[in-house]
Each structure stands twice: as C-alpha cells, then as structure tokens.
C-alpha cells in the first residue's frame, strides 16, 4: 500500500511556543450517489449494541482512510461527491463507522481547512472527528530509518500530533525492513524497540503493518554468498523473527489479514540449510492466537479466491469474499481488544465511478455489522 508522506511537524509545535501539556490542552475536542452492481450485502440485520453473537461491536467498526483516499484528495469545487476530510468524515459517521485510521494528513487544497498537515490542522481534524462521533486509532506515517537526536525529535513531534487526534497507536503502512536477510531484521528490531519505548512515553503503542512478503522466509542459514550473506532459511518467517526479538511492551503489529492470507497462498516452502525443500504452510490466525495482545489493530481486507492471479486473491468489499472473518475474529483471543479496520486498496472507482469507494465503505460496514459468531 502506498501511503502519503507525513512531513515533520516539529517546527510547527515549537513555533506555537507550546510544551506537551499546553499542546494537548489546546486541542478541541456525503452521501455516495453511485450504486455498485453485483456486490451482495449480508442478509442478517445489524444487532443492537451488546446483542448476543455480534462479532464486531459498534464501537469497534473502523476504516482506514486509504480506502477513500480519492474522496479525501479530490477538489470539492469540481464534483458533487463528498470531498476532503470534513465531508468524508461526515459521510463515514452517517454510515456508522466509529473508528478511523489515517493514511497521512493530505487533502485537496480547496477542501475545508486547506492544509491540515499542521498542528492547527490536527486540531481541526480532531474537531471533525468529535463532531461525527469518530475516534482516530492510528496513522500510517513513517518511522525514522535511523536513531539520532534529530529523528527522535521528529518522532516526538509526530507523537504529539497523534495525541491531539486522540490516537492510541502510531505506526506505519510499511514493513520494518524490505530485506530478506537476518542482519537487517536484527537491526530493525533494535531500532523499533527504541522508537517503541519513545512512543510509550507519549502514551502510544507503536505498530508496524505487513504485506505478504513480510511473512516469507528469512534468509538466516546455509552457505554464504559473495557478500557474506546467508542463502538459505531455518524456516523462520521475517515478521515472526521480528516479534520474537522486539519488546512486547513497546512494539506491536497491525495484521493485514488479506496480505497474511496471500502469504499463506504464496510462501509455502523454503530451502533449508542442507539444500532440501521444506513445505511450511502459514497460519495467520495461529500467529495472532500465540500473542493476541501484540495485534491491537487489524486490516479487515477481504478477498475472492483467484488461483489465476499471482496473489491467489482479488480484493473485494468486506463480507463479499472468501476469507473466513467470522472464524478469524472470534478465535483470536483477547475478546474486545482488537480494532478491525476495513481496507480495500482497489476501492476508488476513478472518473467512471467517483462514488465507488464510499459505496464500498457502506457495503463493508453493513456486512461487518451483520457478522455473527
């Protein structure tokens, strides 16, 4: 997933002359016209809050705003559809969503509020969240690639913005490293422990997000190549190593359940140190069950089985695909702890269907609300 780059707001914080306590004290508390043909809704009605059998309680039904990035970024002067953060949050509130995850803080310059990628902009965003009964859970920002005084200050400023928005988590949409090699994952774990402890000092949980390759096999054994790097695997998957070598008090994961299922489809064997091929099928649910508290957030992204595609799945609105979310969400453990965020990378419909992403969001909300254990 490609997320918008988040500039460093440190200078803005200092420019206001605010310390952290003053900074936090200064905070204040679209109808989709297109109909998408062929997308079924779950048939059971949404239960009242607390009703027996509801898998995702009303207050836990969320969406990452990357799903509706087209609506947030378009010019309201050129379209009748909801545009910009204010209108999109209003529409998501009307649909019923109670949680959102940001994917950066950029919107079209002509949208209400203009450039909200500032401290004042974060205060305005918080007002719109509160007005619509929505809580911000996290953001796909960027985690510094080095640990220096400057990057720690940059990270502190991002944490301050997260606190303005009322987030409980701060994170990224990228893997901790794109490398296949053990040494790089060791270094990533050390760096994330530092920033995780820093996030905790701000009252936040630091989290990373997976794509399928993060659950492929780590190159950590066997003969070395010309650069002295291992060429084979012990069978440990990259993020499993990361989990085992980061402090559970400071570093958390947001499992993208769709990409985890793609990993189950794609990454099924590794070459062992002796050169043999070993079959090993990934089980996303089992990974969560072993440490459910390490996964405060999920991306509830659905997929239709498509063996003709390289990933084995095609992204579809939540509740219309083949991923067994009823089983997954009811068997993870730590009942009531996890926050599932609907995501669909392919939701925007472009010029041909400008209302599609918000219509898919409506369909997905209804299917999430209808999910019964």
Domains annotated on the chain, with CATH: 25-30+53-370 (3.20.20.150)
pLDDT tens across 131-155, in order?
999 999 999 999 999 999 999 999 9
What are 77-95's pLDDT values in tens digits?
999 999 999 999 999 999 9
320 pLDDT above the threshold of 60: yes
pLDDT, tens digit (0-9, with 9 covering 90-100), for 207-221: 999 999 999 999 999
Predicted pLDDT at 373 = 86
- What percent of the chain has pLDDT above 90? 86
pLDDT 10s digits, 48-80: 334 569 999 999 999 999 999 999 999 999 999
Task: Give per-residue pLDDT as tens, 151-186.
Answer: 999 999 999 999 999 999 999 999 999 999 999 999
Tell how strand 277-279 and strand 269-271 pair up.
antiparallel
Query: Mind spelling out the 3-state secondary structure of 253-305?
Result: EEEEHHHHHHHHHHCCEEECCCCCEEECCCCHHHHHHHCHHHCCEEEECEEEE
170 vs 30, residue with greater confidence:
170
Where do the H-state alpha helices sit in the chain?
10-15, 20-25, 69-73, 84-95, 119-131, 149-164, 182-201, 238-244, 257-266, 284-290, 325-330, 356-370
More confident residue, 33 or 223: 223
Which pLDDT band, with edges at 50, 70 and 90, does 315 fall under? very high
């Amino acid at each position: 997933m490609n997320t918008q780059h988040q500039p460093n707001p440190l200078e803005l914080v200092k420019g206001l002359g605010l310390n952290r306590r003053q900074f936090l004290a200064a905070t204040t508390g679209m109808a989709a016209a297109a109909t998408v043909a062929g997308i079924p809704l779950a048939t059971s009605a949404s239960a009242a809050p607390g009703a027996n059998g509801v898998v995702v309680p009303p207050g836990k039904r969320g969406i990452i705003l990357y799903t509706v990035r087209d609506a947030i970024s378009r010019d309201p002067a050129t379209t009748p559809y909801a545009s910009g953060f204010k209108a999109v949050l209003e529409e998501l509130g009307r649909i019923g969503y109670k949680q959102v995850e940001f994917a950066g803080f950029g919107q079209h310059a002509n949208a209400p509020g203009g450039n909200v990628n500032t401290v004042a902009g974060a205060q305005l965003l918080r007002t719109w969240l509160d007005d619509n009964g929505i809580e911000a859970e996290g953001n796909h920002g960027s985690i510094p690639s080095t640990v220096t005084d400057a990057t720690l200050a940059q990270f502190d400023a991002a944490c301050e913005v997260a606190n303005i928005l009322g987030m409980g988590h701060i994170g990224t949409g990228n893997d901790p490293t794109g490398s296949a090699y053990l040494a790089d994952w060791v270094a990533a774990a050390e760096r994330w422990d530092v920033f995780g402890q820093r996030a905790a000092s701000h009252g936040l949980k630091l989290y990373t997000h997976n794509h399928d390759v993060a659950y492929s096999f780590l190159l950590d054994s066997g003969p070395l190549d010309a650069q002295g790097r291992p060429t084979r695997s012990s069978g440990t998957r990259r993020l499993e190593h990361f989990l085992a070598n980061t402090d559970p008090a400071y570093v958390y994961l947001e499992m993208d359940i769709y990409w985890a299922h793609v990993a189950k489809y794609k990454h099924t064997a590794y070459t062992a140190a002796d050169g043999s091929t070993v079959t090993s099928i990934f089980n996303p649910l089992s990974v969560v069950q072993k440490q459910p508290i390490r996964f405060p957030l999920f991306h509830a992204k659905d997929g239709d089985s498509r063996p003709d595609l390289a990933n084995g799945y095609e992204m579809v609105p939540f509740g219309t695909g083949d991923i067994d979310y009823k089983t997954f969400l009811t068997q993870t453990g730590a009942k009531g702890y996890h926050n599932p965020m609907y995501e669909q990378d392919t939701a925007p419909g472009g010029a041909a269907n400008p209302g599609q992403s918000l219509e898919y969001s409506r369909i997905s909300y209804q299917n999430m609300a209808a999910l019964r254990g």
